Structure 1
Amino acid sequence: MQLQVMNSPFNQEQVELLNRILPTLTESQKVWLSGYLAAVQSLSIPGIPGAQLRTLPAHISEQIISKEITILFGSQTGNAQGLAKKSARKLEGIGFQVTVSSMSDFKTKKLKEVQNLLIIVSTHGEGDPPDSALTFHEFLHSKRAPKLTDLRFSVLALGDSSYEFFCQTGKEFDNRLEELGGIRLYPRFDCDVDYDEAAAEWLKGVLDSLSETQDGSAPQVHESAPQAVESVYSRTNPFKAEVLENINLNGRGSNKETRHLELALEGSGLTFEPGDSLGIYPENDPFLVDILLEELRWDPEEMVTVNKQGDVRQLKEALISYFEITVLTKPLLEKAIKISANEDLHELLSPGNEEELKAYLTGRDLLDLVRDFGQWGETAQEFVSILRKIPARLYSIASSLSANPDEVHLTIGAVRYATHGRERKGVCSIFAAEGLNPGDTLPVYIQHNENFRLPQSPDTAIIMIGPGTGVAPFRSFMQEREEMGAEGKSWLFYGDQHFVTDFLYQTEWQKWLKAGVLTKMDVAFSRDTEEKVYVQHRMLEHSKELFEWLQEGAAVYICGDEKHMAHDVHQTLIEIIEKEGGMSHEKAEAYFADLQQQKRYQRDVY
């Protein structure tokens, strides 16, 4: 209905203005305006001074919000941090003032001042917060956490659905912020390993919600400050790197096979620092795919759509290079029962069978599922629609770009084992060990990891603990420090099974020891002695000197298996601090926490 002077209390100029603006308002803007006018009338205040804003009805005061946004990230490998920075650029581009911070750097006393909070956090290990989120997570779940009734928030949770506690840390932050009085700006999103589309959808929802609750005006796009030139290649657009070398580092007779890969990055524009990782998109074993297709009895050349963008591939090629077939997850089985009439499968997923389901998922793959529970749907397309994209595998970079321009080196242990009556192979490690030759190409991208960095000062001493392939990033550390002429002391604890066959990069360590680039090296070869000896035993043998290094300001780095090695090393460090520092266990824990806060204890664990 058009307003007129005759049917309203407005003069001609007001009528013209209102007739121009009213048709442009969204429903939420109209609701906001009606509430605003009602509040003004009831409070008898023409301008609503800022000091009286909180006397407005809650649904109105929530609409008049700050354009300042805080993004806190908790990241172990760098994914959450990368998404935080990307989200900040988007928000700044439409006029928001954004503060981005690692949870470990955020001053908790400032939390009460934050009105708009975005949490981007991964889950590590068995449902644990990443190292950089531990302190903030503990604070938020303590009695010291403040009431956050003025807070609006949204959580983006990163995880891997093959783990039991999928996105657990994100869920805990989401629930706790609500308990403390915060209001969700936008619902939490739980992202699997292929998170790009889901993260983009979450950010769009956040942007839409923020735009709707501003002062009614459309967001203005601002020119961003010039960014550093970045490579066109990324996680979503990987670079085809040529294989230069593929060498077995283990000696004849070893129980292990460890591949040293050298890849060419020339022309990619990709750069990295020691501590970063390389993402590889592997292919599934063609032999396993052939067996799977025999069981399914579908035409390998049938065309199937593989993603939302409508990309089409032959079924066999899609199962080799696009879909994950070597891991079973609960979400996969929940999709599977929708295209299966098998009663046993439905029973497996019924309430109360959690332990039986967990046991079934462990160590089995898609071929097991197909064989155990029969036919699947009516078409190949219906079957592949339940599968997730094969995730990239991350490997710690084992070289310095300064020492090896246009190259990247990796240290990959081949994974082979038997379970449930079949031989099994690690997807990427066996792809590297058996399927790659010099001249072949490999789709790769750089995964930056700010949580595993050499000290800013080359004079700072470093202690490196990395058994087996965990030694990879420390090779890059040594190459980098050699190039820069670092004066700081360095100490490596390295372990493996046998000295003769499993001493990875032995000649290089000896060269660095002789040149003084590496100050000390202690090794533990567990199968060469009657009683098994590991790196933590060597640490205890040198506990006095190790504590002296810590007292002098040394930084500690750990790389390798989290569940066993990293856990044992952590406990050993606490024990050393307690013993050599003459401290109570509580004070030793506090000393250790201080090391973490100062970024003098960093882990690259898996």
Structure 2
Amino acid sequence: MNAVVAPEPEFPALDADRRVLLARLVEGLGPAQLYAAAAWIAARAEPGAPRLRAEAAPAAAERLTVVYGSQTGNARRVAERLARRAEAAGLPVRLLRAGAYPQRELAQERQLVVVVSTQGEGEPPDDARGFVEFLAGRRAPKLPGLRYAVLALGDSSYPQFCAVGRLLDARLAELGASRLAPLGEADVDVEAVAGPWSEQALARAREALQAAAPAAVRAVPLHAVPAPPAHDRDRPFAAAVLANQRIVSRDSAREVRHVELSLEGSGLRYEPGDALGVWPRNPPALVAQWLEALRLDGDEPVAWQGRTLPLAQWLERERELTRLTRGWLAAHASAGRHVGLLRLLRPEHAAELAALLDGHQPVDLLRLHPSPWEAEALVAALRPLTPRLYSIASSPKAVGEEVHLTVAVVDYEAHGARHWGAASSFLAAAAADGDARVPVFVEPNERFRLPADPARDVVMIGPGTGVAPFRAFVQERRETGARGRNWLFFGNRHFAQDFLYQVEWQEALKQGHLHRLDLAFSRDGARTGAQAAGSAPRTYVQQRLREQGRELYAWLQDGAHLYVCGDAARMARDVHAALADIAVAHGGHTPESAQAWLDDLLQQGRYARDVY
């Protein structure tokens, strides 16, 4: 049974505009910050009570500013940890998301740390685009008085590894700033680099601040630095499985499951738009494949970095087995002296390498290109297993202390063998009628929030499992009585097999909680003649966008917020191109001004993307 959730409080003494301002003010604050704000407001209201006075903010020369640009939460988490360390060391510090950084203040900054990730083909996170463009552009000021440090996060499997961080580091130096610390470059195992680098950067910042204002170095948080919750990435909560059911037909080519987990007693809180981190285990059958291919004993004890575990346990719980990376490919090719594989690591073969990484798992290389591996060397060469993030498919106002997920199960045949995904297989096997527990944590996504003004319209574009956060959005808007309209674009392969949450969407339409629903099922259509041979045109959500372009543009011009969730490599790019075409066709834009218009929507927070 779902918990009974108290309704949102009303504020009859406040008009609509002030209620919106209040909502924006408290957005993203945790319980501790909310209680502190409430106490401060209450103290101001007491007759005759002394007025609370905010402590004067230190001058720019006396503070450390930490700015982060994050797509999946890693850069935000590192920046928050660094800011907490700075406070503990007695440094006046302010922490800001790149999209919220006041660019006019850059010329006055004296101590700056930037933590930024790189996504896709060397692109900045959505919330850092404006910050990066400003620094790279002609309006960026000269910065001879600035000392800075940049920590770049990336994935070495991609050619443009840490490209955004490298760009910012070089550009700040070009503008006359001097480095507090050398550029840090962190791979997927972020903390291995981020921890030591943060200590070095903070030590240099403290020295610089003491030299500038010896008496002023004391902890004055200029922007809320969130306190770590009881359960987080490093201390996950063991969530009980409440429901786990298939939500596609039995003849669907893909398995998609709806999973409900209990957060009761965890203290974890989330908002629609956030993600749930899941710490998986690799499927036992996959571990068996590795041991068989390598002819290694799973019971063999392996000591690594102060821990000793059986090899099979290292492979199941501690090491990444399903994602083929450039680093593992290089190590495996070197171990077996595979000239052909080593050739792919050269820059001129980047396209072939990308195709190999995309179409194979590491176990395929073990079979196709055998190499001799000792157990300890294998554990050392493999990346640590990392959590997977799933867009949350529920609103806590509707489901209480539960969290719902929409999971596409990775399970397919390729290269003569069966392949699995780590987290999706782990979740699919977690039975609701047993004692299964799933280690989870909440990953906030500040960039993917419903508008603070409940009268705003929202447009949601979510093909496949990308529809998950929009289930949460519609639940939230229903529970809060939001007056704005809701328009969903959904697509998948087949109407009869893959229409995720069909009954819920139909009920939402009937009840007036969903106002428009546009569908695109790419594989449905006449299959005769040439079409049967595979040449039939396929309909995707971007085509539906163009068909409804005039009205969609009108919604956006009237202030609607636009959200996109799903595949970054193809769908998100195609949707972005369709939106630009709509601006040209129905808004009188040139192709150049259409891109500028979309960039402006991104900067306003009215165009948000949760892509992966």
* TM-score class normalised by the smaller sequence: 0.7 to 0.9
The answer for the alignment partner of 1:574 in structure 2 is 580
The answer for the alignment partner of 1:117 in structure 2 is 112
Tell me the alpha carbon deviations over residues 209-249 of structure 1, each in whole angstroms, 9 at most, x when there is no partner. Answer: 12333446699664879987753111011111111111100
Question: What is the 5 A alignment of 1:149-548?
Answer: 149-215=144-210, 222=219, 231-306=229-304, 308=305, 310-336=306-332, 349=345, 357-376=353-372, 379-434=374-429, 436-439=431-434, 440-530=436-526, 531-548=537-554
Tell me the alpha carbon deviations over residues 356-381 of structure 1, each in whole angstroms, 9 at most, x when there is no partner. Answer: 5445444333323334554445x411
Distance 1:167 1:463, change over 3 A: same
Tell me the alpha carbon deviations over residues 155-176 of structure 1, each in whole angstroms, 9 at most, x when there is no partner. Answer: 1112223333222211221222
How far residue 343 of structure 1 moved from its aligned partner, in angstroms, is 6.0
How far residue 322 of structure 1 moved from its aligned partner, in angstroms, is 0.8
Q: Aligned letter for 1:387? A: L
Q: Distance in 2 between matches of 1:535 and 1:339?
A: 46
Distance 1:66 1:338, change over 3 A: farther
How far residue 558 of structure 1 moved from its aligned partner, in angstroms, is 0.5
Distance 1:169 1:400, change over 3 A: same
Tell me the alpha carbon deviations over residues 500-519 of structure 1, each in whole angstroms, 9 at most, x when there is no partner. Answer: 22111111111111111111
Q: Distance in 2 between matches of 1:551 and 1:316?
A: 57
Distance 1:110 1:605, change over 3 A: same
Tell me the alpha carbon deviations over residues 42-61 of structure 1, each in whole angstroms, 9 at most, x when there is no partner. Answer: xxxxxxxxxxxxxxxxxxxx
Q: Aligned letter for 2:548? A: H
Q: Aligned letter for 1:292? A: W
Tell me the alpha carbon deviations over residues 420-448 of structure 1, each in whole angstroms, 9 at most, x when there is no partner. Answer: 44332222222222454543111111110
Instruction: Report if the CA contact (8 A) 1:413-1:429 is conserved.
Output: yes
Instruction: Report if the CA contact (8 A) 2:92-2:221 is conserved.
Output: no
Q: Distance in 2 between matches of 1:442 and 1:218?
A: 49
Instruction: Report if the CA contact (8 A) 2:63-2:209 is conserved.
Output: no
Local SS of the residue matching 1:549: helix
Q: Distance in 2 between matches of 1:542 and 1:374?
A: 53
Instruction: Report if the CA contact (8 A) 2:91-2:217 is conserved.
Output: no
Question: What is the 5 A alignment of 1:65-144?
Answer: 66-144=61-139
CA-based RMSD: 2.6
Tell me the alpha carbon deviations over residues 259-302 of structure 1, each in whole angstroms, 9 at most, x when there is no partner. Answer: 10001111111110000001111111211211211232332112
Q: Distance in 2 between matches of 1:484 and 1:353?
A: 54
Distance 1:486 1:193, change over 3 A: same
Distance 1:601 1:354, change over 3 A: closer
Instruction: Report if the CA contact (8 A) 1:93-1:224 is conserved.
Output: no
Distance 1:342 1:461, change over 3 A: closer
- Structure 2, unmatched stretches of 5+, are 1-59, 527-536
Distance 1:520 1:372, change over 3 A: closer
Instruction: Report if the CA contact (8 A) 2:398-2:475 is conserved.
Output: yes
Instruction: Report if the CA contact (8 A) 2:277-2:387 is conserved.
Output: yes
How far residue 355 of structure 1 moved from its aligned partner, in angstroms, is 5.3
Q: Distance in 2 between matches of 1:105 and 1:539?
A: 30
Q: Distance in 2 between matches of 1:507 and 1:328?
A: 38
Instruction: Report if the CA contact (8 A) 2:466-2:566 is conserved.
Output: yes
Question: What is the 5 A alignment of 1:39-54?
Answer: none
Distance 1:419 1:142, change over 3 A: farther
Local SS of the residue matching 1:391: coil
Distance 1:358 1:513, change over 3 A: closer
Q: Distance in 1 between matches of 2:402 and 2:102?
A: 39
Q: Distance in 1 between matches of 2:445 and 2:152?
A: 18
Q: Distance in 2 between matches of 1:280 and 1:358?
A: 27
Tell me the alpha carbon deviations over residues 49-88 of structure 1, each in whole angstroms, 9 at most, x when there is no partner. Answer: xxxxxxxxxxxxxxxx933222221112233223323322
Structure-1-length-normalised TM-score: 0.83
Local SS of the residue matching 2:482: coil
Local SS of the residue matching 1:263: strand
Local SS of the residue matching 1:423: strand
Decide which of 558, 561, 565 is 2:564's aligned counterpart. 558
Q: Aligned letter for 1:150? A: G
How far residue 146 of structure 1 moved from its aligned partner, in angstroms, is 2.8
Instruction: Report if the CA contact (8 A) 2:282-2:321 is conserved.
Output: yes
Local SS of the residue matching 1:71: strand
Q: Aligned letter for 1:399? A: S
How far residue 542 of structure 1 moved from its aligned partner, in angstroms, is 1.8
- Structure 1, unmatched stretches of 5+, are 1-64
| Residue 599 in structure 1 maps to residue 597 in structure 2 | no
The answer for the alignment partner of 1:11 in structure 2 is none
More moved, 248-257 vs 208-217? 208-217
Structure-2-length-normalised TM-score: 0.82
Q: Aligned letter for 2:558? A: E
Q: Distance in 1 between matches of 2:489 and 2:343?
A: 49
Instruction: Report if the CA contact (8 A) 2:542-2:574 is conserved.
Output: yes
More moved, 508-517 vs 139-148? 139-148
Distance 1:150 1:313, change over 3 A: same
Q: Distance in 2 between matches of 1:587 and 1:95?
A: 47
The answer for the alignment partner of 1:147 in structure 2 is 142
Q: Distance in 2 between matches of 1:465 and 1:200?
A: 38
Q: Aligned letter for 1:572? A: A
Q: Distance in 1 between matches of 2:345 and 2:583?
A: 47
Q: Which has the larger radius of gyration?
A: 1
Distance 1:145 1:224, change over 3 A: closer
How far residue 350 of structure 1 moved from its aligned partner, in angstroms, is 6.5
Tell me the alpha carbon deviations over residues 14-43 of structure 1, each in whole angstroms, 9 at most, x when there is no partner. Answer: xxxxxxxxxxxxxxxxxxxxxxxxxxxxxx
Tell me the alpha carbon deviations over residues 563-583 of structure 1, each in whole angstroms, 9 at most, x when there is no partner. Answer: 221111111112222222223
